[in-house]
Amino acid sequence: MSLDFKPTFDGFFRDETFVGDFTFRNSPASIRRFPFPFDRDEYMYSVNIEPHVPVVGRPNSVFQHAFDVDEHYVSEMRDRARVLAQDPLRCQSLPHMELAGWDLLELIMESKARDYPQWFSLSKSGDQWHWINRPLGIEQRFTFLDSSTLPYGPLEYITRQTQGDFTLQDERDQNLWVDAGMVTTQADWSLDFDIGMNFFEWHAPVPLAHEKGIFDRALKFLLKLQNGAPVRRFNWTMTVNPLLDTAPETYPEWGTMRTTVTPENVGEKLHLRVELQALFRLPRSNAIAFSIRAYLGRFDELVTVPKWGRRLHRVVRDLHPDLAAYKGFLRNRDAMAQWLSQYDDGAPTSPGIWPED
């Protein structure tokens, strides 16, 4: 690994895989803080955007910090390095986006050093910066805004050390243009194909939402995004096996896994894949950073929370078939709904996403 990282698994970080033998699991504590995306028993698109701030009374939630670091951190970074070694096109930045990359590096380093001082530290003397990432065994002295002092461009450098995919959007002509990104944990979209597109173009394949005006409203909202006031939303899909990398590039490698679902193995094969998406206006470049953090929850882990078992059954059973097809699980939907039905006694569920207290 060219980042020269020496990962340590110190008892908090899990040593697990997202490919091959698929040893990924959530600990009981990790299940309790899973970002369950459904606040009611049904799902349809909405512009479900809210301020990206901590939730009062939920200090352990994934919303607590700008960039959540959890027990999967070290293994996810190892998986990203594996994907990038196979396909360097997963990280690209058009030439005018380097400043935005520095903006993002600063935002992440300052956030992590503040929020997780036991793992990360950042000290500055003018433009001479000193960064320590203890879980990955990285120590780096560099000159801020001078790319020649880092082993990669700023976007690639910092996102090799940060969970979740990232894209950087340039703003011009009253539109947002996806002109840079690090994308190795995506739900079936290609950065290499989409880079350079505007907001409507890169969302072109999404069904139903254009006609509902979702993208017009979302773009209008995002163009008003202010520095220091990030926002977030959920997206979700289903993944067979805990694959972080479900890229179109490697679809021939993972596509057949979708055919391995049987009524007996739904609980261990199917994963609810939740994307916690956050948007940050960047101070120098005026670009918008978009973080897409994927959380995987095995069905048999999620149903240990009775409310989530009931609700997941109802959402899967009743989802519009176009959406099930777009999200890639139409072929397994009946088996999923059947398996989940044993966890749905028909009892009412409480509003909101949280497990019962």
Partner 1 sequence: MTKTEFPPAIKSRPVYGELAPRSGTAHVIVADGEGAAAVAALFDKAGDARAAMLAKTHILYAPGPTGVDQWPLIAALCAPQAQRTPSVSTLLFRLARVLQDTHMGAQFYLSGTEGLMGQAQRDIMATGFPFADIQTEHRGSTLRRVQCVHCKGMTENVATDPFKCSHCGLHLFVRDHYSRRLAAFQGVNIDAEDPGQIPAAVERFK
User: Which parts of this chain interact with partner 1 (CB under 8 A)?
Assistant: 89, 190, 192-197, 200-205, 210, 248-252, 254-256, 258-259, 331
Q: In whole angstroms, how close is the CB of 190 to partner 1 at the nearest point?
A: 5
Nearer to partner 1, 255 or 352 (CB): 255
Distance of alpha carbon 161 from alpha carbon 98, whole angstroms: 18
Q: In whole angstroms, how close is the CB of 258 to partner 1 at the nearest point?
A: 5
Distance of alpha carbon 165 from alpha carbon 135, whole angstroms: 19
Nearer to partner 1, 49 or 197 (CB): 197
> Any idea which residue has 């040593």 for tokens?
15
Q: In whole angstroms, how close is the CB of 272 to partner 1 at the nearest point?
A: 20
Q: In whole angstroms, how close is the CB of 196 to partner 1 at the nearest point?
A: 4
Nearer to partner 1, 190 or 286 (CB): 190
Nearer to partner 1, 205 or 348 (CB): 205
Nearer to partner 1, 25 or 203 (CB): 203
Q: In whole angstroms, how close is the CB of 107 to partner 1 at the nearest point?
A: 27
Nearer to partner 1, 13 or 329 (CB): 329
82 carries an active-site annotation: no
Q: In whole angstroms, how close is the CB of 19 to partner 1 at the nearest point?
A: 16
Distance of alpha carbon 357 from alpha carbon 353, whole angstroms: 11
- HEC string of the chain equals CCCCCCCCCCCCCCCCCCCCCCCCCCCHHHHHCCCCCCCCCCCCCCCCCEECCCCCCCCCCCCCCCCCCCCCHHHHHHHHHHHHHHCHHHEEECHHHHHHHHHHHHHHHHHHHHHCCCCEEEEEECCEEEEEECCCCEEEEEECCCHHHCCCCHHHHHHCCCCCEEEEEEEECCEEEEEEEECCCCECCCHHHHCCCEHHHHCCCCCCCCCCCHHHHHHHHHHCCCCCCCEEEEEEEEEECCCCCECCCCHHHHHHHHHHCCCCCHHHHEEEEEEEEEEEECCCCCCEEEEEEEEEEEHHHHCCCHHHHHHHHHHHHHCCHHHHHHCCCHHHHHHHHHHHHCCCCCCCCCCCCCCCC
Considering the candidates 82, 134, 233, 333, report the single residue annotated as catalytic.
233
* Active site residue ranges: 233
